Amino acid sequence: MLAYAQQVSNSAYVGRRVKPSEKGDASAERGFEASLKLMGMKLPYARNAEVYGQDEPAEYVYKVLKGSVRTHKLLDDGRRQIGAFYLPNDIFGLESGASHRFAAEAIADTEVLAIKHSTLASLAQTDAAVARELWQIAARELDHVHDQMVLLGRSSAQERVASFLIEMANRSANRTEFDLPMSRQDIADYLGLTIETVSRALSCMERKAFIELPSARKVRIKNRAAFRGMRL
């Protein structure tokens, strides 16, 4: 899979050279982001395509360019838990362990930038700034799952959906009106609920005039204050 992706898109980066204007500015060519830009390869994924599978070796670290990605774990009986959603500019796949414990899939048609984990590891050895940056990414990841644990373990359906909407609002450009790239099923599996419960919670909030749903995938926050009160 990755071999294929490499074929189709690596060409864009083959033979790329540091331009004279970049050469002089050392800081522009260092750090994680810079390395990603220089050495990363752009990969396209269709809607629902798998970026990596569960328990697959964690060879690459990714950054979302366009579209969005979900990570999940699937149980034998079909139950699914979504670990996180990644939107443009988010980094994912840095598992620090040998293999991915969650699978990753494109939610919509998506483009990611991928860089070898081993490349980053060796970079981190010489460049302390890269090492620090990697830890920060891991820290954000851990923070998020910690919050998610409290959400899943200790909150009601209403609180979960409210927290989710606030999270999405904060992550989108426009904090009062935004699109949801994921389906109700994805939201439900992210929040540990059923689609029906998610739908009901949303309808309830719309009835209370806290939000408006111009369409199923579009949300408008009408009463931010009320929201803060009902989130976890």
- Residues near a second copy, by CB under 8 A: 73, 75, 79-81, 83, 95-97, 101-102, 124-125, 128, 131, 135-136, 138-143, 145-150, 152-155, 189, 191-192, 232
Is 62 in contact with 56 (CB distance < 8 Å)?
no
**Closest approach of a second copy to the CB of residue 19, in Å:** 31
Tell me: does residue 196 bind DNA (CB under 7 A).
Answer: yes
Instruction: Please tell me what DSSP assigns to residue 175.
Output: S
What, of a second copy, DNA, none, does residue 107 touch, CB below 5 to 8 Å by kind? Answer: none
1 binds, among DNA, a second copy, none (CB under 5 to 8 A by kind): none
Segment near DNA (CB under 7 A); pick from 28-36, 86-94, 104-112, 180-188: 180-188
Residue 108, binding choice from DNA, a second copy, none, Cβ under 5 to 8 Å by partner class: none
193 binds DNA (CB under 7 A): yes
How would you classify the pairing of strands 69-74 and 103-106?
Answer: antiparallel
Q: Is 18 exposed, middle or buried (0-12, 13-18, 19+ CB in 10 A)?
A: exposed
Please, which residue, 23 or 217, has the CB nearer to DNA? Answer: 217
Task: Tell me: does residue 205 bind DNA (CB under 7 A).
Answer: no
Question: CA 95: distance to chain centroid?
Answer: 13
Measured CA to CA, the distance from residue 118 to residue 165 in angstroms comes to 36
By CB under 7 A, the count of residues binding DNA is 21
200 contacts DNA (rule: CB under 7 A): yes
Of the residues 198, 205, 211, 221, which one makes contact with DNA according to CB under 7 A: 198
In angstroms, the Cα distances linking 48 to 56, 64, 106, 186, 200 are 17, 15, 5, 12, 26
CB neighbours (10 Å) of residue 35?
19
Measured over the CA atoms of residue 53, residue 55, residue 60 and residue 61, the dihedral's sign is: positive
Instruction: Give the nearest distance from C-beta 135 to a second copy in angstroms.
Output: 5
Q: Is 209 in the site for DNA (CB under 7 A)?
A: no
Q: Does 185 bind DNA (CB under 7 A)?
A: yes
Contact partner, 202, from a second copy, DNA, none, Cβ < 5-8 Å per class: DNA
Q: Which two tokens stand for residue 212?
A: 């408006």
> Which of residues 79 and 224 has its CB atom nearest to DNA in the complex?
79
One-character DSSP codes across 8-37: HHHGGGTT----HHHHT-GGGG-HHHHHHH
Residue 158 engages DNA in binding (rule: CB under 7 A): yes
Collapsed DSSP state (helix, strand, coil) of residue 53 = coil
Binding site for DNA (CB under 7 A): 156-158, 183-185, 192-200, 202-203, 213, 215-217
